[in-house]
Chains A and B, each alone.
Chain A
Amino acid sequence: MDLESLYQDIILDHYKNPRGRGLREPFEAEVHHVNPTCGDEISLRVHLDGDTVVDISYDGQGCSISQASASVLYEQMIGNSIAADLKTADAFLALMQGRGQVEPDEDVLGDAVAFAGVAKYPARVKCALLSWMAWKDAVAQSASGQAHKENS
């Protein structure tokens, strides 16, 4: 049975006990992303201080995979430089799109390696990526917002 490889204990734990959930102030950008095929949605805010990701806050509804991946994202990303986090996000994207052929690097991904099994279920990859894509979008928006402020 592959269910255990999909729903690893780490994922179920993050689903039942989400870390960092709830929308908080301050933030530089807020985005709202949806998965139009199933209606899952997430609102996500990022708070940056210079080059550092200080906070990620989020709220949403969806399946265990989409909600757990937001919780893992929060835990994995805050306190790091934007550049390091973007690298992590790229590694996660590569893992998710790898159809189970990509060997995950735990040093880069941390708890996010638990999602390796999701890559074998193409219909669920979008669930796992929902919050990560929202995060990337929010970081891009806040970075361009900051650049705009510095230029004005």
Chain B
Amino acid sequence: MTISSAALAGLLDVDTVAKDFPILSRTVRGGNRLVYLDSGATSQKPYQVLDAERAFYTRCNAAVHRGAHLLAEEATDAYEGARLTIANLLGAVPRELVFTKNATEAINLVSYAFSNATAKSAHGRALPHGAERFILAPGDEIVVTQMEHHANLVPWQEVCDKTGAVLRWLTVDDQGRLDLDHPEHGLDAVVSDRTRVVALTHQSNVLGTITPVQRIADAAHAVGAIVVLDSCQSVPHMPVDVTDLGVDFVAFSGHKMLGPSGIGVLWGSYELLESMPPFLSGGSMIETVHIDSSTFAAPPQRFEAGVPMAAQAIGLGAAVDYLTALRSLDGTNQGMAAVAAHEHALTSYALNRLSEIEGVRVIGPTDTHERGSAVSFVVDGIHAHDVGQVLDESGVEVRVGHHCAWPLHRRFGVAATTRATFYIYNGPSDVDALADAIVGAQKFFKVI
């Protein structure tokens, strides 16, 4: 049954929020209202973010961290101001934040620290103090999970191929939770004194599962391993304090949290960042340069080679300001807590609505305990591509396929799923539109 907005506790004022997002007022496929349920792939952008980018270009565009003219000063201040805003969101200090192109690049920045340190060490070349933590030997182990996005899996496969390290993984149970107590694939069996890296997601982009980060990080740190957290689906959706998480690195993208594309963030403890060799090299990241050798700047500049993406960073700063100013309709929550409460209510409603449709099976937890708002499902008798096509025809835009988590789909024995993801501008009527469109697809393909 459908429900009115007022009946769901914790919601944001969706009608007001949606007015800030110009794209949501367009129509699609024959005049249908756009029901955008693909924010897990990329979010839409409010005027506030678009205006911040435009203001940068119209007021103070210049190459940051170079030049002494006024525009360069203002541009640098705005860029570093964005770093401070984002650091505040995460409970971090600005010098621990590296701007990257996206989360994939942020994870590669860490994975390349391992392969670069290993390669330089093999040739006796200079490395920063403390870099031995990044030198791998054949037989060392890197641990991932079966629910990783390719972005937090393939880079580690590459490190293994380059260094002779061995990839191991934690498995997922039938409910879509990490099977940490499994006798053969659980935490005790997989994490050992050979483990050098544990790379995992904070929240699965397919299952919605929120992982027990603290427990895994404790096990990893007990054996001296470095913990890398893919937070693409957590930082945009819930309060995340990097000092509480107990991990060493956190990576996320700006475009999934109202920010522009082309901006991502790597947070790392400063001590570790200092001990890492560079990733991309060139201008800006140097201390001194001679014709035959160079020394490198301190972090974060060491990892920001070339003229950085200033407008995008400033746009992301504006997105963080927007998110932190949000309030629940009932006034109980503010900022990321309000975002999390909103999505929690919507996810609960969506899981209920989907459970009422015969022939629909959710892949992932079917309750909202430690669960975010990615809801993936299969519809009996209809391939996900075809489900998505019929949904699109009625204006409901979802993701179909393996969502860059192919091994996870194999684990569940499905080639593809349909995924709805919710964000601050989605309301209960969007969930209703999804449910109605799924039944429409079942009718179109005559499976009911």
Residues of A within 8 A of B (CB): 1-3, 6-7, 12, 37-41, 61-66, 121, 124, 127
Contact = CB atoms under 8 A, between A and B. Distances in A.
A39 B393 contact: no
Contact of B385 (A1, A2, A12, A124): A124
B393 A38 contact: no
B409 A39 contact: yes
B385 A38 contact: yes
B389 A6 contact: yes
Given A7-B444, A38-B402, A127 B385 contact: yes
Interface core residue of B384, B389, B409, B445 (most chain A CB under 10 Å):
B389
Contacts of B409: 39
Given A39-B406, A61-B415, A3 B401 contact: no
Contacts of B393: 1-3
Nearest to A3: B393
Nearest to B414: A39
B160 interface: no
A127 B444 CA distance: 19
Nearest to B417: A39
The 3 A-B residue pairs with the shortest CB-CB distance in the complex, in nearest-first order: A63-B385, A63-B383, A38-B401
B124 interface: no
Contact of B383 (A1, A2, A62): A62
A38 B444 CA distance: 22
B352 to A, nearest CB: 28
B30 A1 contact: yes
A64 B416 CA distance: 13
Interface string B374-415: 000000000111100110010000001110001001000001
Contacts of A1: 30, 393
Interface residues of B, number: 18
Contacts of B384: 38, 63
A142 to B, nearest CB: 28
Interface in B77-102: none
Nearest to A60: B415
B146 to A, nearest CB: 16
A16 B389 CA distance: 18
Contacts of A39: 401-402, 406, 409, 415-416
Nearest to B401: A38
Interface core residue of B30, B385, B409, B416 (most chain A CB under 10 Å):
B385
Contacts of A7: 386, 389, 444
B402 to A, nearest CB: 5
A123 to B, nearest CB: 8
22 contacts: A1-B30, A2-B29, A3-B390, A6-B389, A7-B389, A7-B444, A37-B401, A38-B384, A38-B385, A39-B406, A39-B409, A39-B415, A40-B385, A40-B415, A40-B416, A62-B415, A63-B383, A63-B386, A63-B416, A65-B385, A124-B389, A127-B385
B444 A3 contact: yes
A64 B393 CA distance: 16
Nearest to A6: B389
B389 A3 contact: yes
Given A3-B389, A38-B384, A63-B385, 17 more contacts: A1-B30, A1-B393, A3-B390, A3-B444, A6-B389, A38-B385, A38-B400, A38-B401, A38-B402, A38-B415, A38-B416, A39-B406, A40-B416, A41-B415, A63-B416, A64-B445, A121-B389
Contacts of B390: 3
A37 B404 CA distance: 8
A151 B389 CA distance: 50
A3 B384 CA distance: 15
Contacts of A6: 389
Contacts of B389: 3, 6-7, 121, 124
A66 B401 CA distance: 14
A5 to B, nearest CB: 11
A136 B121 CA distance: 48
Nearest to B29: A2
A61 B29 CA distance: 28
A64 B444 contact: no
A38 B419 CA distance: 13
Contacts of A38: 384-385, 400-402, 415-416
A65 B389 CA distance: 11
